[in-house]
């Protein structure tokens, strides 16, 4: 067998494997439905506790295939695996006070979206967020907190112009601002969104009831399925019928 033939065979195998892996990725709407169902389990306190066995742990030792990225507040009361009744390897968590998206958070999300091909990104704010309250109160903050609070203040200033509870409105607006920021983040996330490979939605978690309210559900339900195009993810030399 000549080197050229061998390279061709290897390339064909790689193309087939990658095509199979990408075609089996769940659509964002399907993942969102699973998270909605998981949150219903949490609200009812009837958990299924999926993917929490020793076999699952061993399975994940060699690779991970999470189906959702969750950017949430670092608040101890908002643990995504519990809120959405998920297990090991299901969620790619990025947690930071105020669920803001600085350079480190965006880079982490880019990794999951572009290298792990995760189809859904959820930005989760929550009721009675301490970071949002601190941004609204103003005053002196110590250490690195001023930088973080500065990212939340635009939402607070917008909320001051609206009727209703200042903090509740600011939490929601902050989520909407971060969703918009990530949706349009270049060069990585905006391109994935444009090709239908990533859907970005927002949500707010109620501490008193455990219920998640979705802010951008319509956008997710109307998004293209993630397997519609894979031209930027296939190896050089691979051609896909659905990309023509």
Q: Looking at residue 171, which CATH number applies to its domain?
A: 3.40.1050.10
Contacts of range 18-23, beta carbons closer than 8 Å, 24 or more positions apart: 18/230, 18/233, 18/234, 18/235, 18/238, 19/230, 19/234, 19/238, 19/240, 21/117, 22/117, 22/227, 22/230, 22/233, 22/234, 23/227
Q: How far apart (Å, rounded) are the C-alpha atoms in residues 127 and 145?
A: 20
Q: Are residues 21 and 33 in the same domain?
A: no
Query: What is the per-residue pLDDT for 25?
Result: 53
Q: How many residues does the chain have?
A: 244
Q: Are residues 141 and 160 in the same domain?
A: yes
Listing from the earlier edge strand, what are the strands of the sheet with 68-72?
91-95, 68-72, 120-126, 199-205, 212-214
Q: Are residues 46 and 150 in the same domain?
A: yes
Q: Are residues 219 and 241 in the same domain?
A: no
Task: Calculate the average pLDDT of the chain.
Answer: 84
Least confident of 16-25, 143-152, 165-174: 16-25
Domain that holds residue 57: 26-226
Count of the separate structural domains present in the chain:
2
H or E stretch including 233? none
Q: Are residues 67 and 178 in the same domain?
A: yes
Q: How confident is the model at residue 242 (pLDDT cuts 50, 70, 90)?
A: very low
Over residues 139-155, mean pLDDT: 95
Decide: 181 and 105 in contact? Cβ < 8 Å: no
Q: Are residues 178 and 128 in the same domain?
A: yes
Q: How far apart (Å, rounded) are the C-alpha atoms in residues 97 and 234?
A: 36
Interhelix angle 145-159/166-183, rounded to 10 degrees, is: 110
Q: What is the largest CA-CA distance in the chain?
A: 75
69 pLDDT above the threshold of 70? yes
Phi, psi torsion values for 5, nearest 5 degrees: -65, -40
Q: Are residues 73 and 5 in the same domain?
A: no
Residue indicated by tokens 């643990």: 79
Q: Are residues 13 and 117 in the same domain?
A: no
Q: Are residues 184 and 240 in the same domain?
A: no
CA contacts within 13 A on the Cβ side of 107:
3
Of 112, 107, 73, the C-alpha closest to 91 is 112
Query: What is the per-residue pLDDT for 26?
Result: 73
Q: Are residues 118 and 153 in the same domain?
A: yes
Locate the DSSP E strands across the chain: 68-72, 91-95, 120-126, 199-205, 212-214
Q: Are residues 232 and 120 in the same domain?
A: no
Q: How far apart (Å, rounded) are the C-alpha atoms in residues 214 and 216?
A: 6
Q: How far apart (Å, rounded) are the C-alpha atoms in residues 153 and 116?
A: 32
pTM, 2 dp: 0.79
Q: Are residues 149 and 174 in the same domain?
A: yes
């Amino acid at each position: 067998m000549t080197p050229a033939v061998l390279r061709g065979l290897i390339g064909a195998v790689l193309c087939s494997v990658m095509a199979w892996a990408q075609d089996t990725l769940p659509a964002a709407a399907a993942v969102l439905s699973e998270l909605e169902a998981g949150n219903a389990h949490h609200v009812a306190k009837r958990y299924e506790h999926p993917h929490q066995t020793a076999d699952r742990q061993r399975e994940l030792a060699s690779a991970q295939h999470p189906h959702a990225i969750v950017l949430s507040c670092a608040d101890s009361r908002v643990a995504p695996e519990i809120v959405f009744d998920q297990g090991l390897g299901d969620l790619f968590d990025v947690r930071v006070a105020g669920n803001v998206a600085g350079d480190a958070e965006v880079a982490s999300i880019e990794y999951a979206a572009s290298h792990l091909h995760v189809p859904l990104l959820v930005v989760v704010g929550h009721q009675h967020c301490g970071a949002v309250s601190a941004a609204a109160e103003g005053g002196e903050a110590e250490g690195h907190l001023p930088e973080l609070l500065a990212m939340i203040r635009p939402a607070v200033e917008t909320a001051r112009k609206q009727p209703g509870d200042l903090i509740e409105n600011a939490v929601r607006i902050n989520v909407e601002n971060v969703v918009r920021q990530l949706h349009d983040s270049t060069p990585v996330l905006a391109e994935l969104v444009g090709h239908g490979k990533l859907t970005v939605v927002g949500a707010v978690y109620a501490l008193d009831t455990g219920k998640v309210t979705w802010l951008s559900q319509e956008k997710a339900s109307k998004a293209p399925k993630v397997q519609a195009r894979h031209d930027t993810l296939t190896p050089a030399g691979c051609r896909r019928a659905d990309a023509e």
